[in-house]
Structure 1
Amino acid sequence: MTTLTQPTPAAGSETDLERRKRLRTVVAASLLGTTVEWYDFFLYATAASLVFNQLFFPDQSSFVGTMLAFATFAVGFVVRPIGGVVFGHIGDRIGRKKTLALTMFIMGIATALMGVLPTHAQVGVIAPILLLLLRILQGFALGGEWAGAVLLSVEHSPARKRGLFGSIPQIGLALGLALGTAVFAALQVVFDEEQFLSYGWRIAFLLSLILVVVGFVVRLKVDETPAFREVQELAKKSSAPLVDVLRPAVRRNTVLGLLSRWGEGAAFNTWGVFAITYATQELDFEKVPVLLVVTLAALVMAALLPASGLLVDRYGAKRIYTLGIAAYGLCVYPAFALFGTNDLFWFGAGLVLVFGIVHALFYGAQGTLYASLYPAEIRYTGLSVVYQFSGIYASGITPLILTALIAAAGGSPWLACGYLVATSVISVIATSLMRERDLHL
């Protein structure tokens, strides 16, 4: 099996200056690209909480409208596995670089078109249908983004810095969320409620065009990864990467990877998505302060993710990921207890703890951990399968589940907390069952 290797074939004749320049370009392409893609994807999540339930589902009650908005949010996660399989195949057959440029282009077009959509008041039922179609396109594009960005970074990395480089795409996710919530907060400060709902929210989506152009140009400048070049030179391309991912030799890693991600996906969409709705509807906090708190927590996470990568380089991805997921499970009830004080300061403190600090610990290890589960010839598809298929139950439906559980408990969050703790337990067990000899780094 082909493994992640030091980029000696192409880099052996590099000068030190050329090597540093190449690595800077890789870091910029990976970080900027994932920031733009996740900005686009989670911009929808923020809008689902604050805008879409009013403009695209206005005839429903507040609860039903929110559930419908979150349902269209979840659709993006349902479509992501299809994109993961399609782009994973392209990435393993044609290359990481070209695939990532294509995913960014599709995502940017879909997000920008959301910014010019007519509302339900203007065209009736056609409005939510168009919104749903663009959300599907978003999910399809993002399905191929994460795995490619991780591989672009990890497969270019120096041997002793794989953990650090593997954390870079994760920083892009945190920055993308922070950028999306910050832009929405700023627009609500600049515009009054009527102006914001009329046209102000659209600016956030149209800004995506500028970001996509910059990210697209940077990604075109990066070289193909050494691991993929080695696959090409040795003629070891898989003719059917998806089939190979499910073969007995790597099936165990695939199943454990799918289960290990349950806690991470549930955690991110609880703290980064559901918490906004919970704080504004259940706790009656103002929207702008809540968005700023989420932005702060995301920025703290972005700042700490490199530290997680350094810990991975010292102690191993499996150990750091397991430790972080366990810490998340232990913090769920205390976090919701802080939320229950109905004090914005303690709400912010709880969110920074679980989202900014604890989430950073294990999220920074995830890319390197999953990249180590597969040989290079099927690695893009393998990462996509694990990350995107798990996204359906681990990420996409989490806001729906939590909203339903809290409603069933008469407004109490403790039943929802039990669900989140269960996801942590499942992930800890699955990750601990990954044998070190299975990790092909």
Structure 2
Amino acid sequence: MTSTPTARPPVARKDLLKAFTASLSGTTLEWYDFAIYSAAAAIVLPSLFFPSGDPMVGVLLAFSTYAVGYVSRPLGGVVFGRLGDKIGRKKVLVWTLFLIGVSTFLIGVLPTYQSISVAAPLILVLLRFAQGVGVGGEWGGAVLLSSEYGNPHYRGFWSSAAQIGPPAGNLLANGVFAGLSLALPEDSFFAWGWRVAFLLSAVLVLFGLWIRLKLEDTPVFKAVEKTGQRAEKPISELWTEERRPLISAVLSRIGPDVTYALFTVFTLTYGTMILGLDRATVLGAVMFGSAFQLVCIPLAGFVSDLINRRLLYGIATLGTVVWTFVFFANLDAGGAAWMYIGIPIGLFFHSLMYGPQAAFVVEQFSPRLRYTGASLAYTIAGVLGGALAPMMFTLLLDVSGSWVWVAAYLAGTCVLTLIGLAIGRDNDVQEDLDHLDTARPGAAV
């Protein structure tokens, strides 16, 4: 049986909305945790966990711990991605959410260097590693949860649920951080105020678990089970059968990861340490840009369903490179006002890449290997892109004394993304529709 272009997934609309919410809540928690750490790494952690006579050295050490959360992601991608293709999306997503939340909560109660000496940064690295393992299995499953419940003709929009998580989490995290900074004296903020932001992650964990436990697995995975197509060795099968899609998906993610790190993480360091701006001012600009993305990302995903997804992605990548040079060229003179203009525009270009990204990555892989493929693409790109970016930006600025090398580094990573888009494939809607037909009650195998 061949589905018509108007075919709908075999689920009730309320279940579709639950899947969208479950996907959004998980990635919101993921990025709330990472954004809290990012802000803390730029402002608080250097003095509390990495004391040094040189402030820039402390920042570099804090960002190196930030990178651990990315380096550990491939382990989570391998472990949870494999399980997601073998036992289902839902079961794995419950465990990833729990692991991320517990790790973040424990960072909030961790004694500082002054209390337990070198054990403090070592435990921080361990918790950051655990965070990354959970995140490594979270994104791929969250994307599949919403996209495989939704109509594949509108995969760009439905997949954007997971993509809204970063700005939503970033907005929550920086809002909490900025609020605590304004409400508390500096000594109180450094003594205990920053911990509140980490402890609040427990609320997001409980909400996310409640939503996910109420869901069934996706119709596409049920169809894969029903037809006996489940992968027995997902990792090896992915590498032998779908190597080019994996390379395409990895490269496509690097530029956007680096862009996000620049406009939401590095700008905190540059604004406070180089321009001498108040940290609440820079956090406010990041929050404003993140709020803007809440609308831009799903809109970009929807637009990518109407036009060629790779074309939109590629144009946005080129626009990002141009805007980065414009942003830094005017930053010294523009100061705080330019931050409120430049960061949101930078995040707008990021949205045009990030909105279609989840759908592009998912559609590179066959349904039976999607969790593994999407997770590995996400985690490997995270190591090559987002993990290194804050350290590289800081190092290049420290060595050269110029922002030009920072912008050039971003431009180089965007070239890799353009290569990934060029070797990727366009969406094959029929592939999913055939699986959805199989999942319908009474369908023949």
CA drift of 1:340 comes to 2.3
Equivalent runs, 1:113-192 vs 2, <5 Å: 113-192=106-185
Corresponding residue number in structure 2 for 1:233: 226
Aligned pair 1:197/2:187, yes or no? no
Q: In structure 2, what residue type is equivalent to 1:371?
A: V
CA drift of 1:43 comes to 1.1
CA drift of 1:430 comes to 2.3
Corresponding residue number in structure 1 for 2:411: 421
Pair 1:437–1:367, CA change in 2 (3 A): closer
Question: Could you state the TM-score of these two structures normalised by the residue count of structure 2?
Answer: 0.93
CA drift of 1:323 comes to 1.7
Pair 1:160–1:437, CA change in 2 (3 A): closer
Tell me the percent identity.
37
Once residues 148 and 208 of structure 2 are traced to their aligned partners in structure 1, the CA distance between those partners, rounded to angstroms, is: 20
Corresponding residue number in structure 2 for 1:24: 17
Aligned pair 1:386/2:389, yes or no? no
CA drift of 1:32 comes to 1.4
Maintained 8 Å contact 2:21/2:161: no
Once residues 38 and 383 of structure 1 are traced to their aligned partners in structure 2, the CA distance between those partners, rounded to angstroms, is: 18
Aligned pair 1:99/2:92, yes or no? yes
Maintained 8 Å contact 1:93/1:238: yes
Q: Deviations for 1:237-284, whole angstroms, at most 9, x for unmatched residues?
A: 11111111111x311111122222221111011111111111111111
Maintained 8 Å contact 1:283/1:342: no
Q: Deviations for 1:32-58, whole angstroms, at most 9, x for unmatched residues?
A: 121112111221111111110010011
CA RMSD in angstroms comes to 1.8
Once residues 336 and 32 of structure 1 are traced to their aligned partners in structure 2, the CA distance between those partners, rounded to angstroms, is: 34
Once residues 44 and 50 of structure 1 are traced to their aligned partners in structure 2, the CA distance between those partners, rounded to angstroms, is: 10
Q: In structure 1, what residue type is equivalent to 2:405?
A: L
Maintained 8 Å contact 1:6/1:159: no
Find 1:282's aligned residue among 274, 280, 287: 274
Find 1:348's aligned residue among 332, 337, 340: 340
Maintained 8 Å contact 1:336/1:413: yes
Q: In structure 1, what residue type is equivalent to 2:235?
A: L
Aligned pair 1:295/2:249, yes or no? no
Once residues 6 and 382 of structure 1 are traced to their aligned partners in structure 2, the CA distance between those partners, rounded to angstroms, is: 28
Q: In structure 1, what residue type is equivalent to 2:37?
A: Y
Once residues 77 and 419 of structure 2 are traced to their aligned partners in structure 1, the CA distance between those partners, rounded to angstroms, is: 25
Maintained 8 Å contact 1:309/1:365: yes
Aligned pair 1:369/2:369, yes or no? no
CA drift of 1:160 comes to 2.6
Maintained 8 Å contact 1:39/1:179: yes
Once residues 129 and 31 of structure 2 are traced to their aligned partners in structure 1, the CA distance between those partners, rounded to angstroms, is: 15
Once residues 437 and 294 of structure 1 are traced to their aligned partners in structure 2, the CA distance between those partners, rounded to angstroms, is: 33
Corresponding residue number in structure 2 for 1:68: 61
3-state SS of 1:374 partner = coil
Q: Deviations for 1:75-115, whole angstroms, at most 9, x for unmatched residues?
A: 11000010011000111111111111110111111000011
Corresponding residue number in structure 2 for 1:259: 251
CA drift of 1:338 comes to 2.5
Maintained 8 Å contact 2:27/2:142: yes
Q: In structure 2, what residue type is equivalent to 1:340?
A: D
Pair 1:125–1:25, CA change in 2 (3 A): same
Q: In structure 2, what residue type is equivalent to 1:314?
A: L
CA drift of 1:186 comes to 0.2
Q: In structure 1, what residue type is equivalent to 2:382?
A: G
Maintained 8 Å contact 1:254/1:382: yes
Once residues 96 and 408 of structure 1 are traced to their aligned partners in structure 2, the CA distance between those partners, rounded to angstroms, is: 45
Corresponding residue number in structure 1 for 2:326: 334
Q: In structure 1, what residue type is equivalent to 2:395?
A: A
Q: Deviations for 1:204-251, whole angstroms, at most 9, x for unmatched residues?
A: 01111111111110111122101100111011111111111111x311
Maintained 8 Å contact 2:360/2:427: no
3-state SS of 2:350 partner = helix
Equivalent runs, 1:263-274 vs 2, <5 Å: 263-274=255-266
Once residues 426 and 349 of structure 2 are traced to their aligned partners in structure 1, the CA distance between those partners, rounded to angstroms, is: 24
Corresponding residue number in structure 2 for 1:306: 298
Which range moved further: 381-390 or 255-264?
A: 255-264
Q: In structure 1, what residue type is equivalent to 2:170?
A: L
Once residues 198 and 398 of structure 2 are traced to their aligned partners in structure 1, the CA distance between those partners, rounded to angstroms, is: 31
Once residues 19 and 6 of structure 2 are traced to their aligned partners in structure 1, the CA distance between those partners, rounded to angstroms, is: 15
Q: In structure 2, what residue type is equivalent to 1:148?
A: G
CA drift of 1:316 comes to 3.0
Corresponding residue number in structure 1 for 2:396: 405
Give ranges in structure 1 of 5+ residues lacking alignment: none
Q: In structure 2, what residue type is equivalent to 1:203?
A: V
Corresponding residue number in structure 2 for 1:54: 47
Q: In structure 2, what residue type is equivalent to 1:366?
A: Q
Once residues 404 and 383 of structure 1 are traced to their aligned partners in structure 2, the CA distance between those partners, rounded to angstroms, is: 31
CA drift of 1:159 comes to 3.1
CA drift of 1:322 comes to 1.4
Corresponding residue number in structure 1 for 2:202: 209
Maintained 8 Å contact 2:231/2:368: yes
Q: Deviations for 1:119-154, whole angstroms, at most 9, x for unmatched residues?
A: 001111111011111000100100001100000010
Q: Deviations for 1:359-410, whole angstroms, at most 9, x for unmatched residues?
A: 111100000000001111110000011110111111101011111111111x
Once residues 211 and 387 of structure 1 are traced to their aligned partners in structure 2, the CA distance between those partners, rounded to angstroms, is: 22
Aligned pair 1:219/2:212, yes or no? yes
Maintained 8 Å contact 1:30/1:152: yes
Q: In structure 2, what residue type is equivalent to 1:416?
A: V
How many residues were matched structurally?
Answer: 428
CA drift of 1:27 comes to 1.3
Maintained 8 Å contact 1:274/1:399: yes
3-state SS of 1:343 partner = helix
CA drift of 1:60 comes to 4.1
Q: In structure 1, what residue type is equivalent to 2:290?
A: A
